[in-house]
Amino acid sequence: TGRLRVFGNSADAYPGKMERIPLTLDHIIASCSIPIVYPATELDGQSHWDGGTVANTPLSPAIDAGAEEIVVVLMTPWDDDPDPEDDPTGKLTPGNLLHAAGAAFEWALLASFQADLKMFRRINELVNLRLENARLQAANRVLEARLAGREIHLPDLDGDGIPDILQGAARHLPEPVIIAPKRPLPVEQIIQYKHDRHEYVYNLGYEDARRAWQAAGRVAEGWATP
């Protein structure tokens, strides 16, 4: 049907569309059933494919849940200015129909995340405007009170310069830490179930995570913080 279904086995503090049920291996397999690559997985008489085809990296649920830190892991390069040395011979350019289909699928998933990230940053812009407006209101109230010969006290428990009564529930969202490979990972490489291939992909992911973590100013294992 193309309808996204969200399964979970824990209480949802923020009511949404999550179906709270005991998770089974079939639910995990259904979430990994990539269209074209794998057959659909049947659950309760309905066929399911990987939910990433509808919402690859949905930031909204994390925002709604009040996340204080968001880490996004992508399978597609995210660098807006890629290094030509990552593909000096052009070998990563799709060379046949299968490669082209895989690349198109990855780009579609990436577009889904880009839309969510754009929304995320728009929210932050609106929050910043609201917070700046609150600061101006506070300054105006203090000025009016002093001109009238009165003292005014506006509590600011978090010390951010904005009186709590004016700040309300506005909260600046943390920029996500985005972990992504430096070069494309063809689907046929990912689904090669061989030990050496798993080791290779694992090590790539580990280094990508360390690089992203350090770029975000975090302490990365074995690397100094910039």
pTM: 0.60
Q: Could you read off the pLDDT tens digit of each residue along the chain, which spans 226 residues?
A: 556 676 665 565 545 566 777 778 888 888 888 777 788 888 888 888 776 656 666 677 677 666 778 888 887 887 655 555 555 434 456 666 666 766 776 776 677 777 778 877 887 788 778 777 777 777 787 778 877 888 777 777 666 666 665 655 566 677 888 898 888 777 667 677 788 888 888 899 999 999 898 888 887 666 554 4
The pLDDT value recorded for residue 223 is 58
At 88 the pLDDT is 40
Q: Return the closest-CA partner of residue 50 out of 109, 132, 121, 120.
A: 109
Write down the pLDDT at residue 89. 39
